[in-house]
């Protein structure tokens, strides 16, 4: 019993419940487990464990130009450079490519850094191979704003 007279939980059962909750997060799409991590307004990471793939690792797949999706790009690219990692490939809808280029230009000017990366734009319906066995395709999505969705196909 705890000090309020209620039955206290076994620490092992609490740990087990937390582990079960962690494993229940996510969903399955076309046979692939998809997990997600989000820190509101700061970062979002979508993970495909079976493919050893996450959206914000070597390939950044951007759906639209809201700040929570592109605002951290220069910092991400700079961090990879500081750690001596290879420059990332950033895939964006072609309708925001010019603005993303401007975002990097401003940061290069202010920071006096290279911010090496590869920026690839896709039109709706266009595909890009991440690897020989994995490609992405840009789809249009109608929401309260115009967005694009990237579809993975093996």
Domain ranges of the chain: 29-152
CA dihedral (31, 129, 91, 111) positive or negative: positive
Cα–Cα distances (Å) from 69 to 11, 12, 13, 47, 135, in that order, read: 38, 38, 38, 16, 21
Q: What is the pLDDT of residue 115?
A: 95
pLDDT in tens, 15-42: 665 555 555 578 888 898 988 876 654 4
pLDDT in tens, 83-136: 787 899 999 999 999 999 999 999 999 989 899 999 999 998 999 998 888 888
pTM of the predicted protein model: 0.60
Band (144; pLDDT cuts 50, 70, 90): low
The DSSP bridge partners found for residue 135 are: 129, 153
Q: What's the confidence (pLDDT) of residue 42?
A: 47
Q: Which residues contact 25 (CB under 8 A, 6 or more apart)?
A: 35, 36
Q: How far apart are CA 125 and CA 139, in angstroms?
A: 6
CATH of 29-152, one of 3.30.1280.10, 3.40.50.1970, 3.60.15.10, 1.10.132.20: 3.60.15.10
């Amino acid at each position: 019993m705890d000090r309020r007279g209620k039955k206290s939980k076994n620490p092992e059962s609490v740990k087990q419940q937390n582990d079960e909750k962690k494993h229940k997060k996510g969903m399955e799409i076309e046979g692939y487990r998809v997990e997600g991590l989000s820190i509101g307004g700061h970062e979002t990471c979508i993970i495909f464990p079976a493919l050893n793939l996450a959206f914000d690792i070597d390939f950044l797949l951007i759906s639209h130009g809201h700040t929570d999706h592109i605002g951290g790009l220069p910092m991400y690219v700079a961090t990879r450079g500081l750690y001596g990692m290879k420059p990332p490939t950033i895939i964006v809808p072609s309708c925001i490519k010019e603005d993303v280029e401007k975002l990097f230009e401003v940061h290069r000017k202010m920071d006096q850094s290279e911010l090496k990366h590869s920026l690839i734009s896709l039109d709706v319906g266009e595909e890009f191979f991440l690897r020989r066995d994995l490609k992405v395709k840009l789809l249009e999505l109608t929401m309260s704003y115009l967005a694009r969705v990237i579809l993975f196909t093996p």
